[in-house]
Amino acid sequence: MGSLDTNPMAFSALPNDKAAFEPLNPEDVRAYLHKAVDFISDYYTNVESMPVLPNVKPGYLQDELSASPTSEAMLVTLVAARDAALRRSGSVGVADLPRLTVYAADQTHSTFFKACRLAGFDPANIRSIPTGSETDYGLDPTKLLEIMQADTDAGLVPTYVCATVGTTSSNAVDPVGAVADVAALFNVWVHVDAAYAGSACICPEFRHHLDGVERVDSISMSPHKWLLTCLDCTCLYVRDAHRLSDSLETNPEYLKNDATDSGEVTDLKDMQVGVGRRFRGLKLWMVMRTYGTAKLQEHIRSDVAMAKMFEDFVRADDRFEVVVPRNFALVCFRIKATGAMTEEDADEANRVLMENLNKTGKAYLAHTVVGDRFVLRFAVGSSLQEERHVRSAWDLIKKTTSSIMD
């Protein structure tokens, strides 16, 4: 079997290192994909000449990444934390499960609350902690401490807290270190969901958002969100992988093999829901080897710069307001209530602006509700997005706003 060029230099050989970074240049894509097709077809043509088993030692491709959807990362860590809490509390089977409690800010992705229900936590014990503009919609550790203490006093067992770095709704950041400090008082598992903003943390200037991460139990991030990787690919890092396999290990006869039995390889089936898995780590590895750190950082910084530019446009136009300070490449803004306009009128104006804009087929805005207000979300992140697209989207927003405000 032939193999793709494994010389590291070959991977970073993008056509012109000096030109602006175009991660999805169509002609490069075409050339690479045709090459891949021939590789696959040659493989099938010559498959009979190859041994049934590869001539490599199990584990030679060291996979440091466990990659599956964010929802699964949350579910498996919730289950591990649940079972550890049951063991600590001396529960007979799941008898104490109705006493376990879990925590997250109200801005946390809905998939967290669903994963809690899947894992059997009592819906009444899933705490959604209110946030407000005073913390820029991040989790308030003082509130977290009060609620965990009250639960403990009531005979409940705090088990798991999810802190988000870059919420879906508004890119809010929960204070990871402070959350970890509170959780440590109650022996609670801390999971950090950095699905989106984790990609930004490849740049040193964004890494402070993860301060304290060395004290958490697990963290997940999804390169398919913002790191040029196809859906789906989520990385899950767990401080102690045995805490996952304690809950998720199975050992049927037909899967027994020397490499697993001897501990020579880590059997990822024991850290996930299913048994089979696609080799999602490969596509992330290809992205990293193709572009390299510098190009990937350029990609993130370029998106953030475009979002910053859009934010400046919004601030310079007094019909609008930026509702939540921008942390990454999402701008949460709205037509503001001015003059005789009530906040409710402004909500309606923003809803009409969004609908009219989306009808043009030239741009697409999604919305959220933050602090009871209808808010528009302008997200930069498409691989093909350039500054001119942001400028023309802003022109369209201004024009559409004028047409509905007059």
Binding residues among 327-356 for a copy of itself as defined by CB under 8 A = none
Span interacting with a copy of itself, options 127-135, 145-153, 251-259, 294-302, rule CB under 8 A: 251-259
Q: Minimum Å distance from CB 152 to a copy of itself?
A: 19
Neighbours of 181 (CB within 10 A): 16
Tokens of 257: 């093999």
Interface segment toward a copy of itself; rule CB under 8 A; list 4-12, 75-83, 139-147, 298-306: 75-83
Q: Does 364 bind a copy of itself (CB under 8 A)?
A: yes
Locate the DSSP E strands across 107-166. 126-129, 157-164
Q: Are strands 218-221 and 320-324 parallel, antiparallel or unpaired?
A: unpaired
Task: Lay out the site mask for a copy of itself across 218-247 (x = CB under 8 A, - = otherwise).
Answer: -------------xx--------------x
Q: Judged by CB under 8 A, which of 81, 84, 85, 97 binds a copy of itself? A: 97
- Cβ atoms of 360 and 396 within 8 Å: the answer is yes
Which residue's CB is nearer to a copy of itself, number 211 or number 343?
343
403 binds a copy of itself (CB under 8 A): no
Question: Within 262-321, which residues bind a copy of itself (CB under 8 A)?
Answer: 273-276, 278
Options 124, 154, 316, 340; binder of a copy of itself; rule CB under 8 A: 124
Question: Given candidates 2, 27, 60, 263, which one binds a copy of itself under the rule CB under 8 A?
Answer: 27
When asked if residue 93 is in the footprint of a copy of itself (CB under 8 A), the reply is: yes
Q: Do strands 189-193 and 126-129 pair parallel, antiparallel, or not at all (unpaired)?
A: unpaired
Helix (H) or strand (E) holding 67: strand 66-67
Closest to 235 measured CA to CA, from 275, 192, 276: 192
Instruction: Please tell me whether residue 366 binds a copy of itself under the rule CB under 8 A.
Output: yes
The nearer residue to a copy of itself, 339 or 361, going by C-beta atoms, is 361
Select 41 or 403, whichever has its Cβ closest to a copy of itself: 41
- Regarding 208 and contact with a copy of itself (CB under 8 A), the answer is no
User: How many residues of this chain bind a copy of itself (CB under 8 A)?
Assistant: 73
Q: How many degrees, rounded to 5, is the angle at CA 214 between CA 211 and CA 216?
A: 100
The footprint of a copy of itself on residues 6-25 (CB under 8 A) is 24
Q: Which of residues 162-181 bind a copy of itself (CB under 8 A)?
A: 168-169
Pick 115 or 287: Cβ nearer a copy of itself = 115
Separation between Cα atoms, residue 65 and residue 75, nearest integer Å: 17
Query: What positions carry a catalytic annotation?
Result: 254
CA of 400: how far to CAs of 66, 111, 356, 388, in Å?
45, 34, 7, 18
Q: Which stretch binds a copy of itself (CB under 8 A): 10-18, 252-260, 308-316, 343-351?
A: 252-260
Q: How far apart are CA 115 and CA 103, in angstroms?
A: 12
What is the per-residue DSSP string for 135-151? Answer: GTT---HHHHHHHHHHH
Only segment of 1-9, 27-35, 282-290, 312-320 that touches a copy of itself (CB under 8 A): 27-35
Beta-bridged to residue 104, according to DSSP, are 128, 162
Say if residues 365 and 376 touch (Cβ distance below 8 Å).
yes
Q: Assess 326 for contact with a copy of itself (CB under 8 A).
A: no
Are the CB atoms for 234 and 192 separated by under 8 Å? no
Q: Tell me: does residue 184 bind a copy of itself (CB under 8 A).
A: no
Instruction: Please give the Cα distance from 280 to 209 (Å, whole number).
Output: 26
Contacts of 393 (CB under 8 A, 6+ apart): 310, 362, 363, 378
Among residues 245, 327, 368, 400, the one that binds a copy of itself under rule CB under 8 A: 368
